[in-house]
């Protein structure tokens, strides 16, 4: 039988990537997995749809994150199956800053996540990621527009980021933010008693 320690080690938080075809989900996944970027990537390798890694944000506790990529299933289906979202602690909504259509799809992606998770979305961390920021000269979506959208769907502006999977810009910030938010924060009791563990209250979202 597994000991408690082993059970604790086996605990990992599920984080899912969603967004339109070609926005860079697999490239962000590969950055998370091996800190590489494949310029010639022609989409997802269906054998690599999840990867677990310990992530330690500066000033926070180490968290085990299992990152899920869609394995390109959004190419063949209008919606991602509900099982993709099951038990997820955080969802990373990716669009490309160079393609306004991928930004316009975000509402549908959020609806998919919410309907798949039903009542379970109360504590779901949602992060909005504008990828391909290295292509700023081709930008179609201003950061202000992303922040405005986030406000309308109850995503705190703290969870609006821009990244480049190509140059690695913002990728560490993304996973630091996710890790900080899903990690239990440890609070010292006022009388120096046993530390109390609770979920971060910061920036709660609906
Ligand atoms: P599917 O798996 O097909 O749904 O797409 P995806 O969202 O996983 O996108 P993917 O990571 O396959 O990237 C699509 C294309 O965009 C590839 O040619 C990548 O090399 C390119 N790409 C991804 N991220 C970036 C980025 O940050 N900057 C630039 N310039 N290109 C990127």
Digit-coded pLDDT (tens) for 59-78 = 888 999 999 998 666 666 66
Phi–psi pair at 176, nearest 5 degrees: -60, -45
Residue 14: strand pairing partners: 66, 88
Q: What are phi and psi of 36, to 5 degrees?
A: -125, 165
Can you give the pTM of this predicted structure? 0.85
* Predicted pLDDT of residue 183: 80
Q: To which residue do tokens 């039903």 refer?
A: 118
pLDDT above 70 covers a percentage of the chain that reads: 74
pLDDT tens-digit map of 107-163: 999 888 888 877 656 678 999 999 999 999 999 999 999 999 999 998 999 999 999
Q: Answer yes or no: is pLDDT of 83 > 90.
A: no
Average pLDDT, the chain: 82
Which DSSP letter does residue 36 get? -
In 48-131, alpha helices (H): 100-104, 106-117
Ligand 1 interacting residues, C-beta cut-off 6 A = 21-27, 39, 41, 43-44, 72, 74, 131-132, 134-135, 164-166
Q: Take atom 17 of ligand 1 and give the residue whose Cα is closest.
A: 41
Per-residue burial over 117-138, b if 16 or more Cβ lie within 10 Å, else e, is beeebeebbbbbbbbbbbeeee
Mean pLDDT of 87-110: 95
DSSP letter at 190 equals T
Tell which residue, 77, 129, 84, has the closest CA to residue 103: 129
- Using the predicted structure, report yes or no on whether residue 1 has a pLDDT greater than 50: no
pLDDT band at 46; cut points 50, 70, 90: low
Q: Which residues pair with 51 in a beta bridge?
A: 67
Please state, in angstroms and rounded to a whole number, the distance separating the CA atoms of residues 82 and 128: 20
Ligand 1 center to residue 142 CA distance, Å?
19
Kindly provide the b/e burial profile for residues 140-155, where b requires at least 16 CB atoms within 10 angstroms of the residue's own CB: ebeeeebeebbeebeb
Confidence of residue 44 (pLDDT cuts 50, 70, 90): low
Which tens digit of pLDDT belongs to each residue from 161-182? 999 999 999 999 999 999 999 8
Angle between helices 25-34 and 171-182 (to 10 degrees): 80
- What value does the mean pLDDT take over residues 10-18? 89
For 8, the token pair is 């604790």
Q: What domains, with CATH codes, occur in the chain?
A: 13-199 (3.40.50.300)
70 CA distance to ligand 1 middle (Å): 13
């Amino acid at each position: 039988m597994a000991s408690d320690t082993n059970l604790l080690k086996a605990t990992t938080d599920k984080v899912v990537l969603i967004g339109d075809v070609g926005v860079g989900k697999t490239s962000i996944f590969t950055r998370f997995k091996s800190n590489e970027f494949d310029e010639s990537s022609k989409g997802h390798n269906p054998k690599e749809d999840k990867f677990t890694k310990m992530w330690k944000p500066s000033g926070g506790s180490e968290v085990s994150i299992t990152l899920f990529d869609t394995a390109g299933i959004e190419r063949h289906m209008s919606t991602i199956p509900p099982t993709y979202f099951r038990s997820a602690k955080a969802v990373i909504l990716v669009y490309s800053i160079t393609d306004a259509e991928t930004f316009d799809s975000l509402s549908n992606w959020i609806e998919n996540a919410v309907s798949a998770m039903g009542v379970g979305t109360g504590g779901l961390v949602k992060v909005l990621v504008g990828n391909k920021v290295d292509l700023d000269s081709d930008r179609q979506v201003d950061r202000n527009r992303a922040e405005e959208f986030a406000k309308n769907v109850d995503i705190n502006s703290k969870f609006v980021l821009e990244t480049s999977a190509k140059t690695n810009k913002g990728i560490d910030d993304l996973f630091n933010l996710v890790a900080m938010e899903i990690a239990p924060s440890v609070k010292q009791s006022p009388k120096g008693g046993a530390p109390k563990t609770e979920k971060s209250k910061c920036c709660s979202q609906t």
